[in-house]
Chain A
Amino acid sequence: MQIPYTVTARTDSGLFNAKLGVWLLLASEVMLFGALFSSYVLLRVAAPTWPHGYDLLNVPLALLNTVVLITSSVTMVMSWASLMMKDFAKYKRYMGLTILCALIFLVVKGFEYGSKFSHDILPSTDTFYAIYFTLTGLHGLHVIGGIVVNFYFWGPGSKMWQTEPERFTNRIEIAGLYWHFVDLVWIFLFPVLYLL
């Protein structure tokens, strides 16, 4: 059976199905992270004192991760643009760079976590660290999810380019939507947790 609207747009929404699906997923993700940001606000306004993130956390490492993640967002959109220009080799390079940036992000995050754990700083240490580990941990899981999907499209899943190039390009577009969202969340996490 042929799955409808994987390439052509629906007449009602003007979109191919998966694109609307991913936007709905992202809307639910906004609420998921929104609930945790809301918890952060509640904990902060109700606390008698609240530490400055820059006194407790490693700002240079977080800044490095911000640069890495923004770079990965650009390489992701460039991988889609390469497919639109029918340049598959360039697509492979940009998608490879996106995955590499995501892995660097996780390694840096690992160093950050490792440094905290080695000083017996855990989510149970205090309210600040509880919300810090929860927010960055959930974000980290999203990065891992993005790596898995992007790796599939970089490797075995890229065979679709030979048979259904337009459908494959659509897949990269919506994988990109998810990846840019992950970047967008970090853009807010960085100042909220590290700089305020």
Chain B
Amino acid sequence: MHEQPSVEEIKKHVRKYIMVFVALMGLTVVTVAVSYLHLDVFWAIVLALFIATIKGTLVAGYFMHLLSEKKIIYWTLLLTLVFFIVLMALPTSGYQGRVV
């Protein structure tokens, strides 16, 4: 094993997992509630993706232990993120502000 946290440390982790679980459930309710507001499409997308990003960050940060990961993982994911952003930007390049 690369690192061996003590049982006490793991118990602290478990408490965090429970808190993250509650936060994820709460944010899921918020996601659905926001959809009932029938906001303008642009703001509905922005808000829904914002909440999903918070939820994704909680999962990656705590459940996948990304908050305390090695540098090589951060660099790998940074490179992935760059390509992911390019991939998302490509289809919208000719359609600024045109979302139905």
Those 9 A-B pairs whose CB atoms lie nearest each other, nearest first:
A42-B91, A9-B2, A191-B48, A195-B35, A45-B95, A27-B80, A14-B70, A166-B1, A74-B21
Chain A nearest CB from B48 CB (Å) reads 4
Q: Which residues of A contact B (CB under 8 A)?
A: 7-9, 13-16, 20, 23-24, 27, 30-31, 34-35, 37-39, 41-42, 44-50, 54, 59, 63, 66-67, 70-71, 73-74, 76-78, 81, 84-86, 166, 169-170, 176-177, 180-181, 183-184, 187-188, 190-192, 195-196
Partner of B48, one of A59, A71, A192: A192
Chain B residue numbers with a CB within 8 Å of A37 are 87-88
Which of B25, B60, B84 has the largest number of chain A CB atoms within 10 A? B84
On whether A187 and B52 interact (CB within 8 A), knowing A9-B2, A15-B2, A20-B72, the answer reads yes
On whether A31 and B87 interact (CB within 8 A), knowing A191-B51, A195-B32, the answer reads yes
Chain A residue numbers with a CB within 8 Å of B59 are 73, 180, 183-184, 187
On whether A78 and B17 interact (CB within 8 A), knowing A46-B95, A84-B10, A196-B44, the answer reads yes
Which of A9, A27, A42, A49 has the largest number of chain B CB atoms within 10 A? A27
Q: Which residues of B contact A (CB under 8 A)?
A: 1-3, 5, 7, 10-11, 13-14, 17-18, 20-21, 24-25, 28, 31-32, 34-35, 41, 44-45, 48-49, 51-52, 55-56, 59-60, 62-64, 70-73, 76-77, 79-80, 83-84, 87-88, 90-92, 95, 98-100
> What is the bound-complex CA distance between A73 and B20, given in angstroms?
11
Chain B nearest CB from A165 CB (Å) reads 9
Chain A nearest CB from B85 CB (Å) reads 9
> What is the bound-complex CA distance between A187 and B87, given in angstroms?
19
Please determine whether A45 and B91 come into contact, CB atoms closer than 8 angstroms: yes
- Beyond A27-B80, A44-B100, 15 additional contacts (C-beta under 8 Å) are A15-B73, A27-B77, A31-B80, A34-B84, A41-B91, A42-B91, A50-B100, A67-B28, A70-B21, A74-B18, A81-B17, A183-B63, A187-B56, A188-B49, A188-B56
On whether A196 and B72 interact (CB within 8 A), knowing A16-B2, A70-B21, the answer reads no
For A179, the closest partner residue in chain B by CB is B63
Partner of A77, one of B63, B72, B73, B80: B63
